[in-house]
């Protein structure tokens, strides 16, 4: 077996076993684990660069799921490898995701909207610092994976128009009825307003089975004058105190990839986007280029040593 980069007991298989056994969520964890084992895991090349060599980081996630997190030796992207299959992800999000997260079957949409509004406020503050600030009011905003629509509700007075889509039927119903937003049940928008437009992808890309394919698909919806705003949870923020400095809390069954500023920039280039702005949060503003792919390079920061650096910030090691 490959030597694990994070060598402490808490990052291994046995700890994961004990974690899921003693968890207050043990019943749902059992059901979800059976599901991904039934579908089978997928040995595939790196989703960013196609590389086949990885370094093993960790053998369990925050819930004790026995999935390996690995870093690609070629591009430095951290990802679940072997990966869970797309069919598994579809069933997981439909039937298990909310309950695993919240331990509840019913969803408190009012609370979700409150959190989404805070995100929306933060996104607007970020956009104010970019070159899009002056033209924000002229943009039609389209959010993919908008849930109940709190982010769009925050944007609606600041932009020309807002609309959204999500596969969560209940969330869409809530946003339409309670917030009177233009929402539809769909993965991608089925109708688009005239340009210029700002597409939003908030905490979606890390969940998608093939983020490069998703980015290319979104680009087909865009005109040269449009923007794509993306946020994903940045792995380097763990060193700054997110997830209480604990990479194991950050590693999550639902996260197919764990991006840094460097790997998000590389992914954007691979999908043919120019990066206007990107930070380690990871929050980014992109524009489609006329090229199918732009040159990219590995960031010097995306290394196994960086993973060890992040882990070294954890208290009480
Ligand atoms: Zn790679």
Interval 78-113: pLDDT, tens: 999 999 999 999 999 888 887 887 777 788 899 999
Q: Residue with structure tokens 């002229």?
A: 138
Position 236 scores a pLDDT of 98
Interval 2-23: pLDDT, tens: 799 999 999 999 999 999 999 9
Q: Ligand 1 center to residue 259 CA distance, Å?
A: 12
Q: Ligand 1 center to residue 224 CA distance, Å?
A: 28
Share of the chain above pLDDT 90, in %: 91
Query: Which residues on neighbouring strands pair with residue 140, listed in sequence order?
Result: 161, 197
CA distance 245 to 224: 40
For 274, which DSSP code?
E
Cis ω on the peptide bond leading into residue 282 (within 30° of 0)?
yes
Judge whether 51 and 270 are in contact, CB under 8 Å: no
Does the ipTM surpass 0.95?
yes
C-alpha distances out from residue 125 to 62, 113, 120, 128, 177, Å:
31, 18, 9, 5, 28
Q: Ligand 1 center to residue 4 CA distance, Å?
A: 18
Q: Ligand 1 center to residue 267 CA distance, Å?
A: 10
Q: Ligand 1 center to residue 93 CA distance, Å?
A: 26
Q: Ligand 1 center to residue 288 CA distance, Å?
A: 22
C-alpha torsion 165→169→174→179, nearest 10: 20
Q: Ligand 1 center to residue 263 CA distance, Å?
A: 9
């Amino acid at each position: 077996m490959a030597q694990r980069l994070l060598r402490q007991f808490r990052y291994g298989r046995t700890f994961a076993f004990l974690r899921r056994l003693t968890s207050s969520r043990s019943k749902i964890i059992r059901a979800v684990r059976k599901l991904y084992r039934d579908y089978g895991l997928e040995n595939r090349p790196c989703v960013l660069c196609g590389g086949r060599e990885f370094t093993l980081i960790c053998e369990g996630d925050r819930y004790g799921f026995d999935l390996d997190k690995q870093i690609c030796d070629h591009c430095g992207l951290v990802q679940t490898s072997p990966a869970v299959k797309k069919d598994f992800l579809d069933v997981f999000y439909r039937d298990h995701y909310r309950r695993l997260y919240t331990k509840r079957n019913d969803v408190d949409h009012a609370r979700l909207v409150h959190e989404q509004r805070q995100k929306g406020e933060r996104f607007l503050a970020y956009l104010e610092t970019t070159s899009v600030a002056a033209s924000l009011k002229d943009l039609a905003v389209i959010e993919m994976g908008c849930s109940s629509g709190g982010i769009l509700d925050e944007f609606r007075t600041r932009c020309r128009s807002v609309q959204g889509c999500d596969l969560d039927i209940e969330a869409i119903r809530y946003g339409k009825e309670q917030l009177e937003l233009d929402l539809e049940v769909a993965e991608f928008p089925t109708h688009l307003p005239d340009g210029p437009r700002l597409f939003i992808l908030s905490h979606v890309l890390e969940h998608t089975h093939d983020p490069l394919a998703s980015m290319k698909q979104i680009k087909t919806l865009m005109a040269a004058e449009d923007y794509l705003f993306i946020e994903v949870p940045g792995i380097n923020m763990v060193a700054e105190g997110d997830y209480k400095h604990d990479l194991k809390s950050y590693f999550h069954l639902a996260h197919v990839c764990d991006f840094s500023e460097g790997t998000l920039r590389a992914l954007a280039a691979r999908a043919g986007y120019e990066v206007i702005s990107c930070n380690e949060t990871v929050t980014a503003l992109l524009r489609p280029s006329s090229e199918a792919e732009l040159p990219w390079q590995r960031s010097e920061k995306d290394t196994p040593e960086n993973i060890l650096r992040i882990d070294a910030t954890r208290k009480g090691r």
